[in-house]
Amino acid sequence: MGRYFIRRVLYAIPALLVISFISFLLIQLPPGTFADTVAAEMMESASVNESAIRAIEERYGLNQPIMVQYWKWISGILLRGDFGESFIWNRPVAPLMWERLGLTLVLTASAFIFVCVVSVPIGIFSAVRQYSVGDYIATSLGFLGLAVPSFLFALILMYIGFRYFGTSIGGFFSPDFARAEWSWARVADLLSNLWMPMLAVGLAGTASLIRIVRANLLDELLKPYVAAARAKGLSELSLLLKYPVRLALIPFVATVGWMLPQLVSGATIVSVVMSLPTTGPMLLRSLLGQDMYLAASFIMMLSGLTVIGTLISDVLLALVDPRIRFT
């Protein structure tokens, strides 16, 4: 187990490195350098401050080769926690980012829990009662869940909420708590507003996991050991949960890891639709305004978090399934 763990962690390091480089390349993609963008911004508001532009060029090494620039950027992040400056907000990127990332994490994690909690029982049910009414309902809901893009589902939920319940959904917090300090009451308020975006983010994942659980459990249920256990007089429920379900969950755990990037993606776009104070809207705004250090930091942190999440799920998978850690 220890060796597997170390090898898996070692694999993650080049991944993080490549991700940081791809994110950095995104800064370079728009025409002109960051200093040009800032200069253009200054031009609109007032006079151009030459010395400020020079300072920016110096700070990010804008006149130097790309690898030097990358080194300046990444070493600033790793050594000093300095993600650069956002010119839209006129503030350093790091403090802007952390709270938003935290809420993204809350949303993604709750969607993740929702997906697992909902898809396993439904998957088991529709496998055990194959071709029953419930199975057909679950299967067709599953197909619909795969076909409805998450942002459209978010819109539909908001529409229903607004049209029939008169509540305007947007944001994580009720007006009273929007600017309040963190407290238990605020956490409770967050949780009461969380369910709708959680549903929107988790729908597609739930749909595909139900199909995976169902298909794998159906394969297991036909195997002779199930009949043998039944013949020995084991009660149906403990038989089911003790053997076939455990085996059927292995591919489930393997897929769950790959679900994380999808959930983060969904959280990004759903947040834009529901205007949640997570990374999504701010990322979109920074991209549209070419506030590239902010945008790149978001993309890097989101991708980095998914890599770490995948790492955790792989380690969990190895814990569940000894065949993996011994090969």
Partner 1 sequence: MAAPAAAVPAAAESSTDTAATVQLASQWRLIWWRFRKHKLALVSGVVVILVYLVAAFAEFLAPFSTDRMISNLAYAPPQRLRLIEQTDTGTRYGLYVYGYTAEVDMLSLQRTFGVDESQRIDLRLLAKSEPYKLWGLIPLQRHLIGPVDQSAPFYPLGADRLGRDLFSRIIYGTRISMTVGLVGVTLSLVLGVLLGGVSGYFGGTVDLLIQRVMEILRSMPTIPLWMGLAAAIPDFWSPVLVYFMITIILSVIGWTWLAQAVRGKFFSLKTEDFVIAAKLDGCSELQVILSHMVPSFMSHIIATLTLAIPQMIIAETALSFLGIGLRPPVVSWGVLLKEAQNVRVLVTSPWLFLPGAAVIVAVLAFNFLGDGIRDAADPYK
State the residues that interact with partner 1 by CB under 8 A: 11, 14-15, 18-19, 22-23, 26, 29-31, 143-144, 146-149, 151-152, 155-156, 158-159, 162-163, 168-169, 258, 260-262, 264-266, 268-269, 272-273, 279, 283-284, 287-288, 290, 295-296, 298-299, 302-303, 306-307, 310
8 A C-beta contact, residue 172 and residue 193: yes
Nearer to partner 1, 20 or 119 (CB): 20
CB of 186 to partner 1, least distance (A): 25
Which string of DSSP letters, residue by residue, matches 151-175? HHHHHHHHHHHHHHS-PPP-SSS-T
Place of tokens 């076939």: 244
Nearer to partner 1, 28 or 239 (CB): 28
Nearer to partner 1, 156 or 180 (CB): 156
Q: DSSP secondary-structure letter at 223?
A: S
CB of 97 to partner 1, least distance (A): 13
Nearer to partner 1, 110 or 303 (CB): 303
Nearer to partner 1, 212 or 240 (CB): 212
Which string of DSSP letters, residue by residue, matches 20-66? HHHHHHHHHSSSS-HHHHHHHHHHHHS---HHHHHHHHHHHTTTS-H
CB of 155 to partner 1, least distance (A): 6
8 A C-beta contact, residue 113 and residue 195: no
CB of 22 to partner 1, least distance (A): 7
CB of 43 to partner 1, least distance (A): 18
User: 197 to each of 7, 43, 83, 115, 136, how far by Cα in Å?
Assistant: 36, 40, 29, 13, 26
Nearer to partner 1, 73 or 240 (CB): 73
Nearer to partner 1, 76 or 281 (CB): 281
CB of 242 to partner 1, least distance (A): 31
CB of 268 to partner 1, least distance (A): 5
Q: Residue 46: how many CA atoms within 13 Å on its side-chain side?
A: 2
CB under 8 Å to 299, separation ≥6 — which residues?
Answer: 23, 26, 283
Smallest CA-to-CA distance from 24 within 85, 93, 71 is with: 71
Nearer to partner 1, 177 or 298 (CB): 298
CB of 71 to partner 1, least distance (A): 20
Which string of DSSP letters, residue by residue, matches 72-137? HHHHHHHHH----EETTTTEEHHHHHHHHHHHHHHHHHHHHHHHHHHHHHHHHHHHHTTTSHHHHH
8 A C-beta contact, residue 294 and residue 96: yes
